[in-house]
Amino acid sequence: MPVTTAVQGRVLVVRLDRDAKLNAMDHAMTLGLDAAMNRLEDDDAIWVGVLTGAGRAFSAGSDLADPDRNSTERGGPYGLVRRARRKPLVAAVNGLAYGGGFEMVLACDLVVAARSARFALPEVKRGLFALYGGVFRAAHALPPNLARELALTGEPIDAARAHALGLVNRLCDDNEVLPTALALAESICANSPVAVRESLGVINRSIDAAQALAWQLSAEAAAAVRASDDSREGIAAFLGKRAPRWSGH
């Protein structure tokens, strides 16, 4: 199974499990994550979710060999990125979270990261656009100049820098990522689930309202990039394992 789940008390642990592809998201993984997020929302016995990755990465983002079927009706991209959630979701980031993987982190409510974790929006290196909210969500979660650096250079930042700037709630040793995330989830579960849901709802709905225009602008930018020669060249170069030859068109 490319996505597995386990229940620990009131916490649902969801694991992306496609290590051979650095947990890159394809159609099967999207369906698996969507089902897990549906369970988180619909099962009254579960109060908090933890999302993590198996092996070397949290997620490398979209699998460019299968890029066109990675959205669901209820959750949007990956079954998660545009989901209206009532329950908290903690990202437990092991290894790299690049592209869509970082966008999944930004769609979560709290972030625990290993010291080895890295965050990046490398789409520009492939002639692509971070169309799942990465550009503007990074600008909300981080200082604008750092969001620009991520979006324009495609280079990663490490977990220590992300923690210092407030993106990461808990920074820990690599073998402590999941235990630390579970401890954070349990501290939420000690509180009234009604009060937690309502508090989270006010925060997230206010953010979503502020980002409504950003989603529209993001879709327009993504369409312009997708129609470009550079976009086709970037994907061909990636799949061909060669350096891209940009035309600027």
- The whole-number pLDDT of residue 235 equals 85
Q: Structure tokens of 49?
A: 């979710």
Mean pLDDT of 72-87: 96
- The whole-number pLDDT of residue 66 equals 74
Q: Is the pLDDT of residue 65 over 70?
A: yes
CA–CA separation, 146 and 222 (whole Å): 21
- The whole-number pLDDT of residue 69 equals 80
Mean pLDDT of 126-148: 95
Domain boundaries, the chain: 3-194
- The whole-number pLDDT of residue 192 equals 98
- The whole-number pLDDT of residue 164 equals 98
Mean pLDDT of 159-172: 98
pLDDT tens digit sequence for 12-26: 999 999 999 999 999
Mean pLDDT of 145-162: 97
- State which fold the 3-194 domain adopts: 2-enoyl-CoA Hydratase; Chain A, domain 1 (3.90.226)
Q: Is the pLDDT of residue 111 over 70?
A: yes
- The whole-number pLDDT of residue 212 equals 86
- Active site amino acids: 103, 123
- The whole-number pLDDT of residue 238 equals 86
Q: Is the pLDDT of residue 67 over 70?
A: no
Q: Tell me which residue of 235, 249, 246 sits closest to 122, measured CA to CA.
A: 235
Q: Is the pLDDT of residue 72 over 90?
A: yes
Please give the mean pLDDT across all residues of the chain. 95
pLDDT tens digit sequence for 191-240: 999 999 999 999 999 988 888 899 999 999 989 998 999 999 988 888 88
- pTM for the model stands at 0.94
